[in-house]
């Protein structure tokens, strides 16, 4: 923990933020913000900008409190955090604990591991980074609504609470040392944070909006803007008429923000100035006392009550909504169902807030009785630990149990009679008494090691990451490069086994959702320019390194379709790319794309039998190979291993007691390894090595496809 800034004595500093009484319009502003957040989440499936209002209010109130503390004596860092802990942690831990219990009984087992991880991240105030890392990972599958996703904003606020006291304290200390008024130093410090953070936010939002949305650095300017407002407010004295206009303009802009802007896709950046400046206008307008003022809508007792429970209401509404959507199978709440979600959330918030207030009151009373600064600084953290430790212990035990089950399954997997995988297709076999491996709950972890090694480029990245496996370059008999998107990447486990057996060098050059072609591509309906840049780098790398062969997908069963799969085609630009490789003297092994189920296999298996979770092969694979009617360059051989994944007409999620799919279309690493022996044989049949080059073997593989 950072140390507290040097003491600032009352005699040398006069606070630029005078002590003010309660501001009822801020309670009303909180109420409007939380109701907008809840309503947009529940009925519209989008965000409203209300969270940005909370960030501004947090910056406004915390800055004012810290500056006044510095003016009275000094900022006591420990006492400041202790007060926040007693006020915020008990409610958050209660919501997390109840949500985890509900997860155990209401969510499928496939969701447990990820939900527990998010619960821990939320309790330790780094859920925003957990989500940011997941948002740029193509293998972060859509598992439904996470019941902890909304903790991202609270995590940013928690990080702000750690950062802001040193910023304020150092600014005041610097002013005191130079013998100048602290107001100027504070304006410079907060203005610098605001400017740098906003500039970064604009840049990173344009470069990688999904990351920027959760990035503390891209949001810090909103809190700094609230701090600047706290410093400026005592000097802002607009006439009453202007205050009335400001209040209504701010309120109208705030309500319309979510209507006119697609907040989730354009925020934070400069677009977040809309709701934050709208909220700032309402704060500047204050309580006008006019019958025509907007504050007449913000200060009635019922509205202020919603403001007083806004923290708990924000915490409860999202998990209640997540479990409702899971239970009903809906993507948006119905009008009546949404009303029930909101009512339940309000009831929980109304019950939770008084309990948290009693805990905070008890902690403050204990501090007064002890009447010692050190003890007062210990009470808050002790209370936070008393809440957090049981939660963390329980989640650790739960995770350890899941890990132990996974290890036990891996030991059983060593027996090919129990887990033959692809070898079971077309063969007579009896019943398999052992559980399926990998277990559906841990299927998302059964991916190529290249993801764990950071060797597969993310959606936002453009650099051609090159990782080498197998034999050393000087010792390798041959070098094969695995190139393409995630449906090329999932062949890595099988190729790695072959490379180890045959002393090959395996080079991995993969990028999520990016096909190996220079034809313009889409990602989620938008131009995928990062893919085009990556493809250019890949070709430059291949031209320089000259591997013996490139292993890549030759067809695709998906072209950015909303359903997740589509008609199998030979992608435009594939053949042209292969001709470029022919000019470089590089052979190509083009493998037919793997079939897709079109639905999440592990999640289906959590509530149904493997037979019920099967899908027709024809849903995603063409009856006749797309290779059959195309004249391919002489350097290309094609492979089709569909018969090692599916039966002639049906694709099962489990084959030979091994889980085939870890989501709707990606093959598990375990199943891929069971295909290695046959893939190696077919490679030898299709091709043979002569003088360091791939040449066509004794069978007409191109004609067969």
The answer to whether 500 and 445 are in contact (CB under 8 A) is no
- Which pLDDT does position 164 carry in this prediction? 96
Q: pLDDT class for 705, splitting at 50, 70, 90? A: very low
Q: In this model, does residue 682 exceed pLDDT 60?
A: yes
Average pLDDT of 166-172? Answer: 93
The answer to whether 654 and 597 are in contact (CB under 8 A) is no
Cα separation, 674 vs 88, in Å, equals 51
- Which pLDDT does position 560 carry in this prediction? 52
Tokens of 570: 């030979």
Ranges in the chain annotated CATH 3.40.50: 443-688
Condensed to tens digits (0 to 9), the pLDDT of residues 598-608 reads 899 999 998 89
Condensed to tens digits (0 to 9), the pLDDT of residues 453-484 reads 889 998 888 999 999 999 999 999 999 999 99
User: CATH second-level architecture of 443-688?
Assistant: 3-Layer(aba) Sandwich (3.40)
Q: In this model, does residue 170 exceed pLDDT 50?
A: yes
Q: In this model, does residue 355 exceed pLDDT 70?
A: yes
Cα separation, 317 vs 39, in Å, equals 10
Cα separation, 450 vs 510, in Å, equals 9
- Which pLDDT does position 331 carry in this prediction? 83
638 DSSP β-pair partners: 590
Instruction: Indicate the pTM of the whole model.
Output: 0.73
Residue 479 host element (H or E): strand 478-484
Per-residue buried b or exposed e for 373-397, using 16+ beta carbons within 10 Å of the residue's own CB: eeebbebbbbbbeebbeebbeebee
Task: Give the up-direction half-sphere exposure of residue 106: CA atoms within 13 A in the CB hemisphere.
Answer: 22
- Which pLDDT does position 695 carry in this prediction? 42
Q: pLDDT class for 688, splitting at 50, 70, 90? A: low
Q: In this model, does residue 564 exceed pLDDT 50?
A: no
Total length of the chain: 705
Tokens of 669: 């690493």
Q: pLDDT class for 587, splitting at 50, 70, 90? A: very high
- Which pLDDT does position 536 carry in this prediction? 96
3-state secondary structure of 616: strand
Cα separation, 645 vs 174, in Å, equals 68
Q: pLDDT class for 315, splitting at 50, 70, 90? A: very high
- Where do runs of H (alpha helix) occur along 40-111? 50-72, 77-106
Note if the bond before 269 is cis, omega within 30 degrees: no
When the pLDDT of each residue in the chain is averaged and rounded to a whole number, the result is 87
């Amino acid at each position: 923990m950072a140390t507290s800034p040097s003491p600032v004595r009352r005699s040398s500093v006069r606070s630029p933020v005078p002590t003010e009484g309660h501001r009822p319009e801020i309670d009303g502003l909180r109420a409007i913000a939380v109701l907008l957040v809840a309503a947009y989440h529940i009925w519209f499936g989008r965000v409203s900008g209300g969270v940005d209002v909370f960030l501004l209010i947090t910056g406004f109130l915390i800055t004012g409190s810290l500056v006044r503390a510095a003016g009275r004596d000094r900022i006591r860092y420990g006492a400041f955090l202790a007060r926040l802990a007693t006020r915020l942690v008990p409610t958050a831990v209660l919501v997390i604990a109840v949500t985890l219990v509900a997860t155990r009984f209401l969510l499928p087992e496939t969701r447990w591991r990820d939900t527990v991880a998010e619960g821990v991240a939320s309790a330790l105030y780094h859920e925003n980074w957990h989500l940011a890392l997941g948002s740029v990972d193509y293998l972060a599958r859509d598992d439904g609504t996470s019941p902890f996703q909304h903790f991202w904003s609270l995590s940013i606020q928690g990080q702000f609470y750690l950062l802001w006291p040193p910023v304020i304290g150092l600014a005041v200390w610097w002013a005191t040392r130079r013998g100048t008024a602290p107001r100027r130093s504070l304006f410079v410090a907060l203005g610098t944070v605001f400017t740098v953070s906003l500039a970064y936010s604009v840049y990173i939002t344009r470069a990688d909006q999904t990351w920027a949305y959760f990035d503390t650095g891209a949001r810090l300017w909103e809190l700094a803007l609230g701090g600047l407002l706290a410093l400026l407010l005592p000097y802002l004295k607009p006439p009453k008429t202007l205050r009335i206009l400001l209040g209504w303009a701010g309120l109208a802009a705030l309500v319309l923000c979510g209507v006119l802007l697609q907040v989730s896709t354009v925020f934070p950046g400069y677009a977040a100035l809309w709701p934050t400046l709208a909220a700032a206008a309402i704060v500047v307008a204050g309580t006008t006392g006019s019958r025509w003022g907007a504050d007449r809508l913000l200060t009635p007792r019922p509205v202020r009550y919603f403001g007083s429970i806004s923290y708990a209401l924000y915490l409860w509404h999202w998990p209640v909504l997540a479990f409702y959507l899971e239970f009903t199978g809906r993507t948006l709440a119905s009008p009546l169902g949404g009303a029930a979600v909101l009512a339940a959330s309000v009831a929980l918030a109304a019950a939770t807030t008084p309990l948290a207030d009693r805990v905070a009151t008890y902690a403050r009373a204990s501090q007064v009785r002890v009447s010692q600064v050190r003890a007062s600084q210990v009470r808050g953290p002790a209370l936070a630990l008393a809440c957090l430790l049981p939660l963390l212990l329980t989640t650790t035990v739960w995770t350890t149990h899941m890990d132990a089950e996974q290890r036990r399954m891996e030991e059983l997997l060593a027996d090919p009679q129990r887990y033959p995988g692809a070898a079971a297709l077309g063969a007579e076999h009896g019943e398999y008494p052992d559980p399926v491996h990998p277990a559906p709950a841990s299927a998302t972890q059964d991916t190529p090691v290249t993801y764990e090694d950071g060797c597969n480029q993310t959606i936002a990245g453009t650099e051609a990451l090159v990782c080498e496996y197998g034999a050393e370059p000087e010792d390798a008999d041959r070098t094969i490069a695995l190139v393409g998107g995630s449906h090329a990447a999932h062949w890595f486990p099988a190729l790695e086994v072959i490379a180890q057996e045959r002393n090959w060098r395996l080079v991995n050059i993969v990028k999520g959702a990016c096909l190996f072609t220079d034809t313009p591509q889409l990602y989620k309906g938008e131009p995928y320019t990062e893919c085009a840049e990556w493809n250019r780098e890949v070709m430059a790398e291949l031209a320089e390194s000259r591997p013996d062969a490139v292993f890549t997908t030759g067809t695709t069963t998906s072209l950015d379709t909303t359903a997740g799969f589509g008609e199998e085609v030979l992608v435009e630009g594939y053949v042209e790319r292969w001709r470029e490789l022919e000019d470089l003297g590089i052979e190509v092994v083009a493998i037919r794309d793997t079939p897709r189920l079109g639905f999440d296999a592990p999640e289906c298996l959590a509530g149904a039998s493997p037979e019920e979770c099967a899908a027709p092969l024809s849903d995603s694979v063409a009856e006749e190979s797309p290779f059959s009617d195309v004249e391919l360059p002489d350097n290309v051989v094609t492979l089709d291993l569909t018969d090692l994944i599916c039966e002639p007409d049906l694709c099962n999620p489990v084959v030979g007691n091994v889980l085939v799919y870890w989501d709707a279309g990606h093959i598990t690493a375990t199943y891929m390894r069971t295909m290695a022996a046959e893939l190696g044989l077919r490679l030898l049949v299709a091709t043979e090595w002569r003088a360091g080059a791939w040449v066509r073997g004794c069978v007409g593989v191109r004609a067969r496809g």
